[in-house]
Structure 1
Amino acid sequence: MHLIVLPGDGIGPEITAATVGVLEAVSERFGLGLRLEHDIAGHESLSRHGTTVRPELLERVRAADGLVLGPMSTFEYTDESKGGINPSMFFRKNLDLFANIRPARTYPGVTHHAVSAFDLVVVRENTEGFYADRNMESGGSEMLVTPDVCVSLRRITRPCCERIARAAFRLAMTRRKRVTAVHKANVLKIGDGMFLEECRKVAAEFPEVALDEIIIDAMCAHVVRAPARFDVVVTTNMFGDILSDLTAELSGSIGLGGSVNAGARHAMAQAAHGSAPDIAGQDRANPLSLILSAAQLLDWHADRLGSRAFGEASRAIEAAVADAVAAGESTADVGGRLGTAATGERIAARLRALPALA
């Protein structure tokens, strides 16, 4: 498996280094033959090349099997004409990474903010919705009509609704076989109505999977009150963005939330959090989100190839993270006593100690 690794901005290089150590350890133990190719994007690329993402980098990523993207200071990239391209948006759009898969679960040893332990996954549509940079062939989908009036457009398409619903139901088949479709069809009758229609059509192909439908505002209350009732949650882009941060924080820290952006041919591991420049270089950043995201990338590859080794490797990383957190071998924000580098090293050591895959 050939992976492009882009460390990013702020704490990105630190947590990416920890993640690379984990990937190298799991590759050795499970015989994956991972080939990691390092490059740059973000501020370092802007300084060296005048753009945050070089055009040739996209072709290199397309030729690889996956991408590990460190956190980027996307809020600072405001002018594409001056090279300030949002790398996250750029790869999601150009690689058609339509499914943002965001697990959230509680961990023994971590104080969480939920009323009970839970284990769920938010499956978020990633290519349309209310996001102004993903709705138009050129330009944005926000218009300043007068100095005091802005109109924002939302694009919802039947094919995108169908494929995100299918991704959710396929995932549910590997879990507890329940999908919750989150919507606002009582107000957004056409767009969210279309989303629900496609969820119901796909549900008919998966009779083993139960389908629930919940309005977004009610969902926010239910997931706080009883998160354990949910298994796979599927929704449109902006609702998924909000819900995935909420559920990650309920688990104890957004630093425990993995995230993979997946398409039919490409996938990108990406931490659920930002670049946190205020703690960059201090060996304090939690690397677990990116490590768990890398595990999801291996699992995506396993599903794509039907590979037992990559699937086992993904689960081994997840188990090593859980064991390390329970033992206090993690960063302080999740109750541990180690720095960024040492957290990655302890997880890598746990993986090296595992028996080889038979």
Structure 2
Amino acid sequence: MNATLRLGVIDGDGIGPEVVAATRAVVDEAIAAAGGPSVDWVPLLMGHDAIEAYGTPLPEQTLGALADLDAWILGPHDNASYPAEMRVAPGGAIRKRLGLYANIRPAAAFAGVRAKAPDIDVVIVRENSEGFYADRNMFAGSGEFRPTEDVAMAVAVITRAATERIAHQAMRMASTRGKHVTIVHKANVLPMTTGLFRDVCYEVAQHYPDVRVADEHVDAMAAHLVRSPADFDVIVTENLFGDILSDLAGELSGSLGIAPSLNCSDTKAMAQAVHGAAPTLAGHNRANPAALQLSAAMLLRWLAVRDGDPILANAAERITRAVSGTFAAGIATADLGGLASTSEFTEQVRARVHRR
């Protein structure tokens, strides 16, 4: 264990500075409670602050600093409000530049939070580097084309190598959970691309004989998640399908305001909540910090597994239990029907990280 844990931190736009500050406070408290090291937070710019300082929402200074870090927390961005020539999605650009090929998105209901599917407990493992996303399906440039004003075209890329590594992520995760993986595709309509994804996932599954594997078309999967979410454990799919299904699963579990996610490679990881920047709430102390706090717990757990560090694993578990316990006590922000402010919710979580 190092004497100091060095983590990057990017506030982002809108409610970003508030939920990031709330998350930093909880991480500091949990690591201290677990007997861990102090955290050296490395602040970096993205979004409107970066445009003001560097003339771009994602400066090379930030990307270069992230390349020297193993892990960081990313606040939400509001790229729709950037100048037209700068409307890059910073999160996607960071994922592509630093090779964060896996997007892990759990969705589970919490006691005290009204959920459409109170029995949901799934993890969606989303391939993050290619698929149908135009910023990640070409070696250089965009994968969307407009040959005339009346015709638009898009390219989708699925490769064996990328599918193998995301399939291994899903199988390993299922091995620690319910030992059940569902491969989601649309091979009846896209047999060459999503059919390759399905087939390679089945090939990888042969290395995990204890994991039960099935597959579903993406439209059927959406219906199954609504009708019988408890039937599913780990879902692995390509980029676009994973984006859509994870938002659906987040809403079924209660709200996108409590939906965490982790973007990772084998060597680097980024905590990033699923929700957006909510600029109309910015500065009012009303934002829900739970999703980013839970994402930070995922980040600490990833570091703990990578480094074999029980202290960080303990800190991650403390955060998860503290957020869950706060909800169970009936304490929530306005988006969940509660009365707590961002700071009040955070203080309740900080107090609970000390409980065993």
TM-score after normalising by structure 1:
0.95
Structure 2: tracts of 5 or more residues without a match: none
Q: Given the alignment of the two structures, is residue 30 of structure 1 paired with residue 60 of structure 2, yes or no?
A: no
Which residue does the alignment assign to 1:201? 203
Instruction: Provide the rounded CA distance (Å) in 2 between the counterparts of 1:327 and 1:335.
Output: 13
Between the aligned partners of 1:61 and 1:216, the Cα distance in structure 2 is 34
8 Å CA contact 1:50, 1:83 repeated in 2: no
Q: How does 1:1-358 map to 2 (within 5 A)?
A: 1-33=5-37, 34-77=39-82, 79=84, 83-114=86-117, 116-351=118-353, 353-354=354-355
- Is the 8 Å Cα contact of residues 109 and 335 (structure 1) preserved in structure 2? no
Q: Secondary structure at the match of 1:123?
A: strand
SS in 2 for 1:283: coil
Deviation at 1:94, TM superposition (A): 0.9
Aligned letter for 2:17?
P
Distance 1:310 1:293 in 2: 14
Distance 1:49 1:342 in 2: 35
Secondary structure of the residue aligned to 2:291 is helix
Provide the alpha-carbon RMSD of the alignment: 1.3
What SS is found at the alignment partner of 2:244?
helix
Structure 1 residue 113 displacement after superposition: 1.2
Counterpart of 1:13, as a letter, is: P
Shift of 1:83: 4.9
Task: Give SS of 1:145's match.
Answer: strand
8 Å contact 1:269–1:290 — kept in the other structure?
Answer: yes
Q: CA deviation at 1:252?
A: 1.0
**How far apart are 1:137 and its partner, in Å?**
2.6
**Deviation per residue, 1:242-288 (Å, 9 max, x gap):** 00000000011111110110111111000100000111111111100
Aligned-residue sequence identity (percent) comes to 46
Deviation at 1:202, TM superposition (A): 1.2
| Contact 2:131–2:156 under 8 Å retained in 1 | yes
Distance 2:230 2:333 in 1: 26
Q: Which moved more, 1:299-308 or 1:267-276?
A: 299-308
CA distance in 2, matches of 1:62, 1:29: 29
Paired letter, 2:40: R
Deviations 1:132-173 (A, max 9, x none): 111223221111122111111101111011111100001111
SS of the equivalent of 1:206 reads: coil
For the 8 Å contact 1:46–1:84, the answer to whether it is kept is no
Describe the shift of the 1:150–1:213 C-alpha distance in structure 2 as closer, same or farther (beyond 3 A): same
Q: Which moved more, 1:54-63 or 1:16-25?
A: 54-63
Unaligned runs of 5+ in 1: none
| Equivalent pair of 1:270/1:293 in contact (CA under 8 Å) | yes
> What secondary structure does 2:135 align onto?
helix
* Per-residue deviation, 1:78: 6.3
**Partner deviation per Cα, 1:182-216 (whole Å, 9 max, x = no partner):** 11011110111111111111111111110010110
Structure 1 stretches of at least 4 aligned residues deviating more than 3 Å after TM superposition: 76-79, 82-85
SS state of the match for residue 286, structure 2? coil
